[in-house]
Structure 1
Amino acid sequence: MLAIVGGTGLYDLPGLSITNRISGHTPFGEASGDVLMGRIGQHQVLFLARHGGGHRLLPHEINYRANVFALKAAGATMMLGFSAVGSLRMEFKPGDLVMCEQYIDWTKADRSRTFFGNGVAAHVSTAKPVSGNLVDAVVGTGARINQPIARGATYICVSGPRLGTQAESHWLRQMGGDLVGMTNVPEVFLAREAQVAYATLGMVTDYDCWLEDESQHVNALGIFELYGKTLSKAQAVLDSLLTGELPEPEPEIRNALLHAVLSPDQALTDEQRQWLNVLKS
């Protein structure tokens, strides 16, 4: 089942006929809100607003573990996120849609990055952190409706909530980043630990602040002036995606924990065994 993770401005899913509202309470705390289950066309889907209703959570306040666990427990096998991003390259212009395919974690120690620890040891491969099948499906959908979607971008995640300095923006470019955002890490890596195929559609709002032209520097007002139009493009892609057949998650993602968990079952507590079985399902 496909789960939609709504970012800034996407706090509900138009056209979703809700059939169930699932509590966001998890062994890892409270998710950003209830998980909504419903139907759009022929597909049963899940929806969760990453920042909560009314955008009440800053990026470092989001309980990413609870969000991913709640979606997995509700039946998610794929997650498609929507995120506002700043561009670190001229080729990704404000207003563009871009699929993120690689990630660099530049966040600080302000968010829990893994389900594991405290007696449950595991090391999951994230060399290719997103689902190629899901990326292909979204890009192909864009082509079908004449909405260009770039792909292959490297997303660098920073903690925020402040917007960066010009020196930081130049440093992120030197690190190999194409886009900068505040929310996709650890979400992308937790999805892999939960054996869920993940991808994000980035909506470019600005050029961050690496350009010498100060009129191009990111600011909150500028972000939201353009963002509504860009979000409409992304919504059109999603609507079209849900009219056709959805891709299948890659077997290697759906079996990511097969050889990754090192702790023997008999060493786990009943509580640990229960939440691990959810991740393995």
Structure 2
Amino acid sequence: MLAIIGGTGLYQLPGLQTETHHPAATPFGDASAPVQQGRLGGQPVLFLPRHGAGHRLLPHEVNYRANVFALKRAGATMVLSVSACGSLTEELAPGHFALPHQYIDWTRGRRETSFFGRGVAAHVSTAEPVSRALCAAVASAAARVPGLMLHQGLTYACVEGPRFGTRAESFLLRQFGAHLVGMTNVPEVFLAREAQLAYATLAIATDYDCWRDDPEEHAQMDAIMARYAACVDMAKALVGHLLAAPVVEPEPAVRGALNGAVMTPEHLLDEAQRNWLAVLRR
């Protein structure tokens, strides 16, 4: 089942016929909100607003582990993250969409980055952190939305926030080879892999960050929200086309990411550890 994580400005999924709410409480704390389960265009879908109802949580305050766990427990096999971002390259103009394939973690250690630790050791490969199958399905759906310009194969750099970056930081990320900058997709993307969930980011470029010379083009919240709002309808249309298409099958490498990755023997785990690990292994 596909799960949608709504980013800035996307706090509900219009047209979703809600059938149930899954609890926010998890072994890793509370998710940003209860997970909505329902149907959109007749297809089952899950929805979770990343920042909570009404946008209460800053990027570093989001409980990413609880969010991903709650979605997996509710039956998700795929996650599409809808996120606002800044563009670090001329070609990705504000108002364009992007599907990054790689991520750079430029956060500052304030976030819980893994389900593992505290007596359960595991090392999961994130060399290819997104699901190419899900990305291909999203790109196919995007091609059916008039006016939607989509870029693929880019690199997303995640910064700590909540402030917008300095020009020096913007130039540094460009030197790293990043094409996008945002505040939320790390550790979300890596936790999704630990949970054996196919993951893709649908990034909406709202600004040129601050690497260009004109101060009027530097990231400002009011301009970001205005541009994002203008693009949300296209994002919703894309999701509709995605759900109307044949169901995507995640790659075996994604759905089996924990095979051989867990180092701690089963008999050393307590009941609570076995229970949450069983959810991740589904």
Q: Identify the TM-score tier after normalising by the shorter chain.
A: over 0.9
Listed as ranges, the matches of 1:110-121 within 5 Å are 110-121=110-121
Which residue pairs with 2:226 in the alignment? 225
User: Are 2:101 and 2:129, in contact at CA under 8 Å, matched by a contact in 1?
Assistant: yes
Q: How far is 1:240 from its partner?
A: 1.6
Q: How far is 1:110 from its partner?
A: 0.8
SS of the aligned residue for 2:139 comes to: helix
Which residue pairs with 1:261 in the alignment? 262
Which residue pairs with 1:127 in the alignment? 127
Which residue pairs with 2:238 in the alignment? 237
Which residue pairs with 1:55 in the alignment? 55
User: Are 2:161 and 2:183, in contact at CA under 8 Å, matched by a contact in 1?
Assistant: yes
* Counterparts of 1:227 and 1:145, CA distance in 2: 16
SS of the aligned residue for 2:54 comes to: coil
SS of the aligned residue for 2:143 comes to: helix
Task: Give per-residue Cα distances to partners, 1:177-204, cap 9 Å, x unaligned.
Answer: 1000000000000000000000010000
Corresponding letter in the other structure for 1:269: D
- Structure 2: state its 5+ residue gaps: none
User: Are 1:103 and 1:156, in contact at CA under 8 Å, matched by a contact in 2?
Assistant: yes
- Structure 1: state its 5+ residue gaps: none
Task: Give per-residue Cα distances to partners, 1:53-103, cap 9 Å, x unaligned.
Answer: 000000000000000000000000000010000000000000001111100
Corresponding letter in the other structure for 1:215: E
Listed as ranges, the matches of 1:183-194 within 5 Å are 183-194=184-195
Which residue pairs with 2:203 in the alignment? 202
Percent of paired sites with the same residue: 57
User: Are 2:144 and 2:238, in contact at CA under 8 Å, matched by a contact in 1?
Assistant: no
User: Are 1:101 and 1:153, in contact at CA under 8 Å, matched by a contact in 2?
Assistant: yes
Q: How far is 1:148 from its partner?
A: 2.8
Q: How far is 1:144 from its partner?
A: 2.6
* Counterparts of 1:228 and 1:207, CA distance in 2: 17
Q: How far is 1:41 from its partner?
A: 2.1
Corresponding letter in the other structure for 1:125: S
Listed as ranges, the matches of 1:134-173 within 5 Å are 134-146=134-146, 147-173=148-174
Q: List structure 1 runs of 4+ shifted beyond 3 angstroms.
A: none
User: Are 1:129 and 1:192, in contact at CA under 8 Å, matched by a contact in 2?
Assistant: yes
Q: How far is 1:149 from its partner?
A: 1.3
User: Are 1:26 and 1:66, in contact at CA under 8 Å, matched by a contact in 2?
Assistant: yes
User: Are 1:64 and 1:187, in contact at CA under 8 Å, matched by a contact in 2?
Assistant: yes
* Counterparts of 2:97 and 2:240, CA distance in 1: 15
Which residue pairs with 1:103 in the alignment? 103
* Counterparts of 1:2 and 1:60, CA distance in 2: 25
* Counterparts of 1:39 and 1:232, CA distance in 2: 18
Task: Give per-residue Cα distances to partners, 1:105-161, cap 9 Å, x unaligned.
Answer: 000011000000011000000000000001000111111334331111100000100
SS of the aligned residue for 2:244 comes to: coil
* Counterparts of 1:156 and 1:145, CA distance in 2: 27
User: Are 2:9 and 2:225, in contact at CA under 8 Å, matched by a contact in 1?
Assistant: no
- TM-score, scaled relative to structure 1: 0.98
User: Are 2:87 and 2:205, in contact at CA under 8 Å, matched by a contact in 1?
Assistant: yes
Which residue pairs with 1:18 in the alignment? 18
* Counterparts of 1:11 and 1:221, CA distance in 2: 18
Residue-pair matches, total: 281
User: Are 1:137 and 1:246, in contact at CA under 8 Å, matched by a contact in 2?
Assistant: no
* Counterparts of 1:247 and 1:23, CA distance in 2: 26
SS of the aligned residue for 1:154 comes to: strand
Which residue pairs with 1:246 in the alignment? 247
SS of the aligned residue for 1:275 comes to: helix
